[in-house]
Amino acid sequence: MRACVLTMFFLFQMALPSGARPVEDSARIAHLLNRITFGMRPGDIQYVQSIGINKFIGMQLNPASIPESPVLKSQLSNYPALLRDPVDLFREFKAIKNDTGQGNSGIHSADPGKDSVQRIGEYFHGIGQQYVEARLARAIESPRQLQEIMTDFWFNHFNVSINKDLDHIWVGPYERQAIRPYALGRFRDLLGATCHHPAMLFYLDNWQNTAPGSKAARGRFTGLNENYARELMELHTLGVDGGYTQKDVIELARILTGLGLPLPQASRNQVAYGTAYCFNPNRHDFTDKVLLGQVIHGSGEKEIEEALDLLSRAPATAHHISYQLAQYFVADNPPKKLVDRLASTFQKTDGDIKVVLSVLFASPEFWDDQYDGAKYKSPLRYVVSSIRAADLQPHDLQPLVAFLRMQGQPVYGCLTPDGYKNTQEAWLNPDSVMRRINFATATGTGKLPGANANPPNYLSLAGTVNGGILSPHTQEVIAKAPPQLKCPLLLGSPEFMHY
């Protein structure tokens, strides 16, 4: 019902001739841009003023309505790995592994073990860095900012670490196939896609999850592996207080037995949610299970869909996801009323992320100025917002990649399944503030490696940092500062550390 009212509201706004609408408050727009993009660029506020906040939100919620940037397209064409298929990459990896004599007795090289480890390492690095740079390029350059913001959110939610062996080559397809297409879609689809993707099945070990004593149980496929089942409930759906028990973890692990990696012979694979995988019934437990009090008959692969349906529809899931969205977009400690409203919307729409976000962006809590500038930027947000505010187009992204590593947030590099946090508590510490000031000084004086050689335009930057809204004290200090320090002070200001 509420969704209907909102849609009408947007349509009504769009129907008005543009001259009839009052110019919207630039502080309001700055807050919106701070939250639903990776940071303002020069001219962004004026652009939103010209089309109106509601139209802008409507477009961002429907990324297909926004043409992709030709500059970005050209940048992404430097990363051919982005279009590779996981099965194809797997075949290539195996060829390299076998080619360097790993497992053989080293006829050609003095130390075959070391040589093959190095070659595989180089292969992994070569592919992995393409994904890392592409992700930064998109965050900086894409006009579909909300889609990138949500891709980042969902990637962290369904985290896979690039550091775990095959995931070096699989995180790219994982994001392309299982995350970005569903980032503003249905939660149930995200759940299904991530559950079937080899990157996740490998990362959380489900590819080895086997019913003990089943037909194909042998070698490394001998028994139950609870790892994925646990995180599927604890992190991806219900949340740690979502009311599941250790017994439920085991039941879910049994349901997931046999769900594994796609095979090099593509014809033997299945495809679901746009991703290839292989369900091996000979490793599956066909007995009946009881999950969260519900009976799930041992029918085979269908059990997995039933389990995902059950989990995605649980009220605890609606609450868990809503809490995280409210934290991501509003405040580290999100107001309960907002979380409850979002959870209720989530349930009523069966997990329609777009509608939940529309409600969020229309909520009084989202626009409450007690939350203006209240979130502390994660290293990723800090770096990307700096590049955007200074209107830079780096030709080499490696210095940014290195900076993020030093700040403790390497791209795709969160080792644990819970993903990167977005709270002040996680990121604010004395040493990292010093490093940000370092970065701000380099960027502000035109000395950031890989970027333009000239300092940013001061007037343009001053109008863009936090939408030009700076405290009197900040303005005073900058006014007095020597000219070459004005841009560093803007980029290193307390206002710019927050959003």
Partner 1 sequence: MDRREFLKVATLSSLTYLFPWGRGWAFSNGKDDADSQKLIVIFLRGAADGLNVVAPYGDAIYHQLRPTIALPGPGLQDGVIDLDGYFGLHPALAAMMPFWRNKTLAFVHASGSPDSTRSHFDAQDYMESGVPGLKTLSSGWLNRLVSQLPSKRSPVQAISLGPVLPRIFAGLASVATVPPNITTQLMAIDRPAVAESFKELYQGLNNDLGKAFAEGISAHHEINEVLSSADDNPPPGPMNREEIMANRGAPTPRKYNAFGQQLAGLFRKDPSIQIAFLDFGGWDTHVNQGAATGQLANHLTPLAQGLADLVSGLGPLYKKTSIIVMSEFGRTAHENGNGGTDHGHGNVMWLLGGQLSGGKVYGRWAGLSTNALHEARDLPTTTDFRAVLCQILIDQLGVSKPALAKIFPDFRPPGNPFLQT
- Binding residues for partner 1, rule: CB under 8 A, are 114, 117, 205, 208, 210, 212, 217, 220-227, 230, 234, 240, 246, 376, 406-408, 415-416, 418, 424-435, 437-438, 440-442, 473-474, 477-478, 481-482, 485, 488-489, 492-494, 497-498
Which CB, 361 or 439, lies closer to partner 1? 439
Smallest gap from Cβ 183 to partner 1, in A, equals 24
Smallest gap from Cβ 35 to partner 1, in A, equals 19
CB count, 10 Å around CB of 383?
26
Which CB, 31 or 230, lies closer to partner 1? 230
Kindly give the interhelix angle for 353-362 and 53-61, rounded to the nearest 10 degrees: 160
Q: Residues 296, 307: contact at Cβ < 8 Å? A: yes
Pairing outcome for strands 289-291 and 275-279:
unpaired
Smallest gap from Cβ 447 to partner 1, in A, equals 10
Q: Which two tokens stand for residue 137?
A: 């390029």
Per-residue CA distances from 264 to 94, 95, 128, 159, 165 (Å): 9, 11, 20, 25, 17
- Please give the torsion angle defined by the CA atoms of residues 184, 189, 194 and 198, in that order, rounded to the nearest 10 degrees: -120
Task: Report the distance separating Cα 229 and Cα 239, nearest Å.
Answer: 13
Q: How far is CA 205 from the centre of its chain?
A: 21
Q: Which two tokens stand for residue 419?
A: 């993903």
Which CB, 247 or 297, lies closer to partner 1? 247
Smallest gap from Cβ 455 to partner 1, in A, equals 14
Smallest gap from Cβ 98 to partner 1, in A, equals 20
Q: Which two tokens stand for residue 473?
A: 């004290």
Smallest gap from Cβ 474 to partner 1, in A, equals 6
Which CB, 72 or 250, lies closer to partner 1? 250
Give the helix/strand (H/E) hosting 276. Answer: strand 275-279
Q: Which two tokens stand for residue 136?
A: 């930064």
Smallest gap from Cβ 158 to partner 1, in A, equals 15
Task: Report the distance separating Cα 308 and Cα 21, nearest Å.
Answer: 46
Which CB, 2 or 435, lies closer to partner 1? 435
Which CB, 147 or 422, lies closer to partner 1? 422
Which CB, 147 or 280, lies closer to partner 1? 280
Maximum distance among all alpha carbons in the chain?
A: 81
